[in-house]
Amino acid sequence: RHKIYDKTINSKFTIIITYIVKHQHAIISTYIRHTVPLKIVTEELERVIENTLDIYQPKSLTIVGDVNINGFQPPLAWCNFVEENGLRTTITTYTRYSPIHKTATSIDTILTTATMAVTAGTIHAISDHLGTFCVFHKIVKHTHSRHKKLTRN
């Protein structure tokens, strides 16, 4: 596991990439304040994705974190960013709930290019944000072993 990039922009935008498993999977962890313009968000994430792919050549990558973009009503620019980078969402339920305003949004995301099966969801916590998780299921290849033949005596 290697930390390969850490960038903070005015304490409003943080990206940390942890490269995991030799040339297999890169994790991009991010926190983006709601005040950061979407154009800056997508441009910076694009730059990080391109650098990660060029330098480390992972087979897949995943973006995890609070992006403060509602996945239930994403802006067109966010949809384009997700599609152009071959990402798919794994979290399909709300991740932030406000009982005062009676709103439920999906602003904490896990987006991935991995094609393997995943199990993802939320964990109810004591804050207004629910924890998110994603399990990537590795396909295990079974090898055929020789079967012993039973003989009758």
pLDDT band at 139 (very low <50, low <70, confident <90, very high): low
pTM for this prediction: 0.79
Could you tell me which residues are beta bridge partners of residue 62? 27, 112
In a 13 Å sphere around the CA of 81, the CA atoms on its Cβ side amount to 24
Q: Report the pLDDT value the prediction gives residue 131, as an integer from 0 to 100.
A: 86
Strands 118-123 and 88-89: unpaired
Over residues 111-138, the mean pLDDT reads 87
In this structure, what are the phi and psi dihedrals at residue 23, rounded to the nearest 5 degrees?
50, 30
- State how far the Cα of 121 lies from the Cα of 100, in Å rounded to an integer: 24
Instruction: Give residue for tokens 């072993």.
Output: 145
Q: What percent of the chain lies above the pLDDT cut of 90?
A: 33
Strand, helix or coil at 73?
coil
Query: What distance separates the 2 farthest-apart alpha carbons in the chain?
Result: 81
